[in-house]
């Protein structure tokens, strides 16, 4: 299987599951908190694609360079590499910084926050596209080593 197809398939599977969860949580928000408006869920809905694409990009790179063996028994899981924590913390920091910067731009221009936060999904897509070639290159170079680690050989 071509590495590009494998990586895309993996991201699509994770994305479909996460999108279904987000849709359910958004629907529950309206049910559990009466009086919730579309504006109230605007930031989470605009931030979701950014977060998802950021995690795809960072996660693809981290999973290639710091693979973990899959265990069917949940009581025996490999611990994530410290690099994974650092990578995801940096991604979270970038996201918080970006949202803060966009909200600052909105207030300087006198626009509502949602008017500039629509840029979040575009920023997530740009980050994902920037990290994807790096992950694919690593996947091609380390294919046999990755199979050995994941299969537990």
Task: For 54-108, write each residue's pLDDT tens digit.
Answer: 889 888 888 888 777 666 666 655 666 677 778 778 878 888 888 888 888 888 8
Residue 17 has pLDDT above 60, yes or no: yes
**How far apart are the C-alpha atoms of 116 and 149, rounded to whole Å?**
43
Residue 75 is predicted with a pLDDT of 60
Lowest mean pLDDT, pick from 4-18, 66-80, 119-133, 137-151: 66-80
Q: Which two tokens stand for residue 69?
A: 């063996």
Residue 4 is predicted with a pLDDT of 82
Q: Which residue has the higher pLDDT, 125 or 75?
A: 125
Could you tell me which of 29, 54, 50 has the C-alpha nearest to residue 102?
A: 50
Nearby residues of 19 by Cβ (< 8 Å), 6 or more positions away: 52
Share of the chain above pLDDT 90, in %: 9
Backbone angles phi, psi at 41, to 5 degrees: -100, 5
Residue 38 has pLDDT above 60, yes or no: yes
Taking residue 110's Cβ as centre, other Cβ atoms within 10 Å add up to 7
pTM of the model: 0.74
Measured in whole angstroms, the distance separating CA 147 from the mean position of its chain's CA atoms is 24
Residue 58 is predicted with a pLDDT of 86
**How far apart are the C-alpha atoms of 108 and 100, rounded to whole Å?**
12
Helices (H) and strands (E) in the chain, counts: 6, 0
Q: Which two tokens stand for residue 101?
A: 């910067």
Q: Are 140 and 3 in contact (CB under 8 A)?
A: yes
Could you tell me which of 124, 106, 126, 123 has the C-alpha nearest to residue 115?
A: 106
Residue 130 is predicted with a pLDDT of 94
End-to-end CA gap in the chain:
20
């Amino acid at each position: 299987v071509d590495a590009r197809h494998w990586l895309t398939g993996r991201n699509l599977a994770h994305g479909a599951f996460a999108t279904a969860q987000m849709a359910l949580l958004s629907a529950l928000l309206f049910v559990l908190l009466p009086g919730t408006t579309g504006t109230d869920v605007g930031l989470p809905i605009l931030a979701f694609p950014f977060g998802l694409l950021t995690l795809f990009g960072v996660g693809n790179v981290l999973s290639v360079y710091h693979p973990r063996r899959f265990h069917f028994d949940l009581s025996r899981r490999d611990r994530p590499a410290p690099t994974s924590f650092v990578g995801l913390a940096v991604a979270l920091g970038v996201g918080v910084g970006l949202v803060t910067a966009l909200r600052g731009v909105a207030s300087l221009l006198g626009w509502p926050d949602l008017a500039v936060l629509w840029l979040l999904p575009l920023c997530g897509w740009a980050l994902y596209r920037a990290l994807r070639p790096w992950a694919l290159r690593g996947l091609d170079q380390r294919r046999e080593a990755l199979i050995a680690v994941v299969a537990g050989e």
